[in-house]
A and B are shown apart, each in its own frame.
Chain A
Amino acid sequence: DTAVSQTPKYLVTQMGNDKSIKCEQNLGHDTMYWYKQDSKKFLKIMFSYNNKELIINETVPNRFSPKSPDKAHLNLHINSLELGDSAVYFCASSQIRGRTEAFFGQGTRLTVV
């Protein structure tokens, strides 16, 4: 069983579109995250969320928004996509924010054309 799964694996879309990436974890973890990995492989935290608190990296544009229907899911919605949004997006989860191992999904490669 895949611990953290995200779909789709690849996403190609035009500028200006709105898209979503789904993430699910079956580890029973309390905290989920979204990371962005750019072309230089730099991993940057975008959001972390548990059932009590959403922490947003202040550099993330408000076109990006996380939505959590329940503890096992944290989806990423992106409005008005721009060329600079092209990257690989990773979902991750951990039992306790920042204190225990984070398990990563396989990534979603987003290409905006």
Chain B
Amino acid sequence: GENVEQHPSTLSVQEGDSAVIKCTYSDSASNYFPWYKQELGKGPQLIIDIRSNVGEKKDQRIAVTLNKTAKHFSLHITETQPEDSAVYFCAASSDGGSQGNLIFGKGTKLSVKP
């Protein structure tokens, strides 16, 4: 089955700096790669996702890149703000069937210092 590795486990940046979180996946059939943000005491919430037919996607200060050949994808947050502090999860899944469940990485705790 799918296995998703995520690095780093913790990341501390100064406000205004950029933050990068990297993930690798094992199943070449995976074709959907979402990123979730989890704030303290809340459930994970989607912030951006990318599908395998796209190499990069951007939404304001957040961007995701995907390299299908190398089986890795990354989250980039620019101009970080204190409210970006949270745990971020990458995930991967393939179309339907028994492989269709989202498999999550172990999370990255991002701290943005004012």
Contacts and interface: CB of A to CB of B under 8 A. Distances in A.
A102 to B, nearest CB: 6
A103 B44 CA distance: 8
B106 A41 contact: yes
Contacts, number: 66
A40 B93 CA distance: 22
A101 B46 contact: yes
A71 to B, nearest CB: 17
Given A42-B107, A43-B107, A97 B100 contact: yes
Contact of A104 (B44, B49, B107): B44
Given A41-B107, A42-B106, A43-B107, A98 B100 contact: yes
Interface residues of B, number: 27
Interface residues of A, number: 24
Contact of A105 (B43, B87, B94): B43
Q: Which of A4, A41, A57, A92 lies at the interface centre, i.e. has the most chain B CB atoms within 10 A of its CB?
A: A41
Contact of B101 (A40, A42, A48, A101): A48
Interface in A91-113: 92, 96-99, 101-107
A101 B49 contact: yes
A55 B106 contact: no
By secondary structure, the A interface counts as loop
Given A40-B106, A42-B107, A43-B89, A99 B96 contact: yes
A101 B107 contact: no
A45 interface: yes
Contacts of A98: 32, 93-96, 99-102
Given A41-B107, A55-B98, A102-B102, 9 more contacts: A41-B109, A43-B44, A45-B104, A97-B101, A98-B93, A102-B34, A104-B36, A106-B42, A107-B41
